[in-house]
Structures are given as C-alpha cells and as structure tokens.
C-alpha cells in the first residue's frame, strides 16, 4: 500500500472528499491586507501579507466547492476581497485520544462572491440558524474554487492532490433543480432517522429529529440540532431519481433494525 493510502483501502482522493464534505466548519486562512489600519505593530512594522486565521461555517456546492457566508465587516472578508487566495483546514481528528493519528485536509483555492440563489439556499439548509443574519446587507455567499489539497491521514500517510486528482464531481443541473423538492419528500417520509445509526447518547425522540439538509452527487447531509452527519454514496448520482434509488438502498427498515448507510459520520455542529 503506497504511503498516504487509507488503511481501509480507500483512495486518498476519496478520503479527502469525504472528510471535507463531512465538516460543517473550517479554519479559514487569508492574507492580511497591507492597507489595514491595524496592520502595523507598536513598532510601526507593517504586517500586511501575514496569514490571518479565523473560524467559519461551511457548506458545499454540488460540485464540492466550499460555500462561505461572510460579512464585509469581518477582517477575513476584507482580506480576501484584496487577495482572493484562501486556505481552508478541515479537521477530522475530534474525539481521538491521539489527534495526530487522525485525518485533516488543507484546501487551497480562490474565493469569489456568488449571487447564485441556490448557493445561498444550500448554505442555509446546512446552517438554518444563519438565516437570522444572512439577510443583513453586509453578508454574502462566497464560493471557493479548489486548486489544490493536502491530505494528512495520519503519520506518514500524506498526499498533495491537484484539483484534477481530487476528482470533485461535475455540476449536476438536474439534481440542483430538483433538490429542494426531493428533500421535502424525503423528510416528509422520515428518511433522516433511518439513515443515521443510533448512539448511546440518543434519548427519547432524538433519533426522530434527524433531517436531510442536502443531497449531492457524492452523498447526503443531515442535521439534528447542533449535530451534523454525512452519508457517502458508493457511486455518484446525477438527478433526483438516482438519489432516491440510492437512498432507498441505504435506509434502515422502519423497525430500526439493519445496517446504517455507508460511511455515516456525525459530529457536533454550530
């Protein structure tokens, strides 16, 4: 097995895509703008160009491009408006006794404002609480075009991946057009609780509160209050009909028995 490959045999690109899509937040790195009035220290040294890290909530377009909801009042937004190059760190090490043995992914790309309504809709389904401030005039959606990614899957398992090697899916217009109606039907039929495996922490009624927030060519996203989950598909889908067939093959029987969907992950959310 070449260095960097997952011990379970999953290809590095697949591991990278799955890790990224499973996260609902990331560390955002921007280059501090040189004309910032706060860019000089007490000695008058200009700090323009220095890396500036911040925490952001993230969703994804159907083609895997990260989507951010940012305010022009924030330093990171002012930075990327001056220099669109950004870095995003997706952390998959939560809960591990030895975090450095876990996976993390650094994504390098360029951020541009998007006025595409479906980008905003997709973000707000993933982060419903953001609706409280998303309508403020200073907030906009920014789409990150991925150029490279650096996957660290543990000690000695490291890969640089170009955008082509990352193999993000092509746009799926039919799925994008039909996603909202599909989610309404699936949630109305109780698919959410049947896709997420139960845990010891689940109390009465908690499993039933899982709902689907997105379906993309690679899988589907779910949320229950402050928790998010991801179910990855074994093969890509392109339209609502294919998505429904794939999910029908993954859901648990109504009595709650049977295996969960493939590669389901659940983490604390915002």
Please give the Cα distance from 32 to 126 (Å, whole number): 29
Question: Which pLDDT score, from 0 to 100, does residue 45 have?
Answer: 62
Q: What pLDDT sits at residue 197?
A: 75
Given this model, what pLDDT does residue 42 score?
Answer: 56
Cβ pair 28, 55 in contact under 8 A: yes
* Fold match, 12-35+47-168 / 170-253: no
- The correct answer on CATH 3.20.180.10 for the domain covering 170-253 is yes
Res 30: pLDDT: 98
List the structure tokens of 193.
């609780």
Which DSSP category does 48 fall into? T
Where exactly are the structural domains of the chain? 12-35+47-168, 170-253
Q: Which of 58, 61, 63, 62 is nearest to 86 (CA)?
A: 58
Contacts of 122 (CB under 8 A, 6+ apart): 59, 60, 61, 67, 179, 214
User: Digits of tens for pLDDT over the chain (270 positions)?
Assistant: 333 344 555 799 999 999 999 999 999 999 999 865 555 555 556 668 899 999 999 999 999 999 999 999 999 999 999 999 999 999 999 999 999 999 999 999 999 999 999 999 999 999 999 999 999 999 999 999 999 999 999 888 899 999 999 999 999 999 999 999 999 999 999 999 999 876 655 555 566 789 999 999 999 999 999 999 999 999 999 999 999 999 999 986 555 455 544 445 556 554
The reported pTM is 0.87
Long-range contact list for 74-81, CB < 8 A, 24+ apart? Answer: 75/30, 75/32, 75/36, 76/28, 76/30, 76/52, 77/142, 78/33, 78/36, 79/30, 79/31, 79/32, 79/33, 79/52, 80/30, 80/111, 80/142
CB 13, CB 161: distance < 8 Å: yes
Please give the class, per CATH, of domain 12-35+47-168. Answer: mainly beta
C-alpha 257 chain-centroid distance: 29
């Amino acid at each position: 097995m070449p260095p960097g490959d997952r011990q379970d045999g999953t290809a590095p690109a697949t591991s990278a895509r799955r890790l990224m899509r499973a996260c609902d937040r990331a560390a955002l790195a921007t280059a501090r703008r040189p004309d910032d009035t706060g860019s000089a220290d007490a000695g008058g040294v200009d700090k323009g160009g220095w890396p500036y890290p911040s925490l952001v909530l993230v969703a994804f377009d159907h083609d895997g491009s990260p989507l951010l909801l940012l305010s022009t009042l924030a330093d990171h937004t002012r930075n990327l408006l001056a220099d669109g190059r950004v870095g995003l760190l997706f952390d998959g090490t939560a809960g591990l006794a030895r975090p450095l043995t876990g996976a993390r992914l650094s994504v390098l790309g360029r951020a541009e404002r998007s006025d595409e309504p479906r980008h905003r809709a997709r973000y707000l389904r993933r982060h419903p609480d953001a609706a409280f401030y998303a309508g403020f005039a200073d907030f906009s959606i920014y789409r990150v075009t991925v150029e490279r990614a650096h996957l660290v899957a543990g000690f000695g398992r490291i890969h640089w991946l170009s955008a082509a090697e990352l193999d993000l899916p092509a746009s799926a217009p039919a799925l994008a057009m039909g996603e909202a109606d599909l989610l309404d039907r699936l949630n109305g039929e109780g698919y959410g609780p049947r896709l997420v495996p139960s845990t010891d922490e689940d109390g009465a009624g908690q499993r039933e509160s899982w709902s689907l927030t997105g379906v993309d060519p690679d899988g589907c996203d779910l949320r229950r209050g402050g928790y998010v989950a991801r179910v990855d598909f074994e093969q890509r889908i392109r339209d609502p009909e294919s998505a429904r067939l794939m999910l029908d093959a993954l859901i648990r029987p109504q009595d709650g028995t049977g295996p969960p969907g493939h590669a389901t992950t659940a983490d604390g959310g915002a």
